[in-house]
Amino acid sequence: MAENKTVGGGSLLIAWQLKGKKVLIVGGGEVGAQRIDSLLTTDAHIDLVSPSAGLHPRSKGFLEKYPSRITHIDQEFAFIDGRQTTTAFIDVGTYDMVLTALDDNALSRQIVEVCRAIRVPVNAADIPELCDFYFGGQVRDGPLQIMISTNGNGPRIAALIKDRVKNALTGKEGDALTKVGILRTKLKERAPGVGGDVGRRRMRWMSKLCEQWSLEDFALLNEEAMDQLLDEGWEHNAVPLPVQVVGKRKIGGILEAITTDWVRSLPSFTSFLAGIGFAHIVFRLYQARK
């Protein structure tokens, strides 16, 4: 049996749901600002421990823009003889996740030890061996999130790969996924229930639909087209062709693109014809001289 090179040495990539959860960030510098930016996507509540003097401009901007999402605790996070000496005691055990964004590795290690002792997931910036999880490069388009992780080996390389992945996308994926999500909600309203025959039928129908329709087709859906798709498809246990549901919009878009391209090409086309005419005149003059 051939060796499976994907076994071992990797991480479990998961979409961690943090909505309504509490996250502690220690350090408000540049890395702290990056962590805030990442967490705002998740709808978590953030407590930021950092003296005001150490706040990065982006961190200050986030605090001003999202006061209901971020609580600023204006103080140092410090230990003496293993005991926390912060002005206002911070109970790490009340948090669902802790992130350190500090230049002080010794302090980061102390915070990690406290978190590990009470089983709170922790990430220590720039100290891979102390991290329960990593932050990777991320491509985001609406509900679509793609993470690229080098498992702590090369964050800059992850950023370069992220750019390649982003450039390979059409830009319609997020819109298409949003439309699919709305369609699934409508389908569940028509055929409610979890599991059972109805649940399995829903899954089969959606799977066939996703196999036969392109992302561009889904992106063209509107409310009326979704209802038509469910009426003519789901209700008859069939998958209509895209042209039957969004065909007019799609063809219209293609015709518009062709027309626009033709109009844009008029100047160069006119120049081309003029060039042919000029060459013909020169040739006739040359023939007359002979």
Domain at 136-169: CATH architecture: 2-Layer Sandwich (3.30)
Residue-level pLDDT at 281: 56
**Confidence at residue 208, expressed as pLDDT on a 0 to 100 scale:** 96
Domain spans, the chain: 22-135, 136-169, 173-245, 255-290
Q: Report the predicted TM-score, pTM, of the whole model to 2 decimal places.
A: 0.72
Q: What residue ranges of the chain have pLDDT lower than 50?
A: 251-266, 269, 282, 286
193: left (phi over 0), alpha (psi -120 to 50) or beta: left
126 catalytic residue (yes or no): yes
In CATH terms, are 22-135 and 136-169 the same topology? no
* CATH code linked to domain 22-135: 3.40.50.720
**Choice among 126, 141, 197, 231 that is catalytic:** 126
pLDDT of residue 258: 36
The pLDDT assigned to 176 comes to: 96
pLDDT at 250: 52
